[in-house]
Amino acid sequence: QKEVEQDPGPLSVPEGAIVSLNCTYSNSAFQYFMWYRQYSRKGPELLMYTYSSGNKEDGRFTAQVDKSSKYISLFIRDSQPSDSATYLCAMKNSSASKIIFGSGTRLSIRP
């Protein structure tokens, strides 16, 4: 069993829809949770960074962490075609430890 599980998609939604992306994990020691966006032929870029449980909002993006269920989510409101990319969840035990990435979900926003 992988430490981090992520549905690979692809996920296709119309422009303006709310998108929900999710990951589950097995290691209860994970404390730091991240979402990266990766455009084709590019490296990942950090989108959201949260510590422990709770919600964090940044513009159209909201990250949720439920440590009791070992489940994290990323919500994208008013989705735009420019949001079309692969979204990778990632997590780590401590600030200095290595990041464990999910396999990524391919998202396509239809104009």
| Interface residue list for another protein (CB under 8 A) | 4, 6, 8, 32, 41-46, 49, 88, 90, 95, 98-99, 101-104
Q: How far is the CB of 81 from another protein (least distance, A)?
A: 22
CA atoms within 13 A on the CB side of 22: 7
Choose between 8 and 16: whose C-beta lies nearer to another protein.
8
CB 102 within 8 A of CB 5: yes
Choose between 53 and 103: whose C-beta lies nearer to another protein.
103
Taken as a whole, the chain contains a residue count of 111
Q: How far is the CB of 102 from another protein (least distance, A)?
A: 5
User: How would you classify the pairing of strands 32-38 and 85-92?
Assistant: antiparallel
Choose between 13 and 100: whose C-beta lies nearer to another protein.
100
Q: How far is the CB of 59 from another protein (least distance, A)?
A: 17
CA gyration radius, the chain: 13
CB 61 within 8 A of CB 55: no
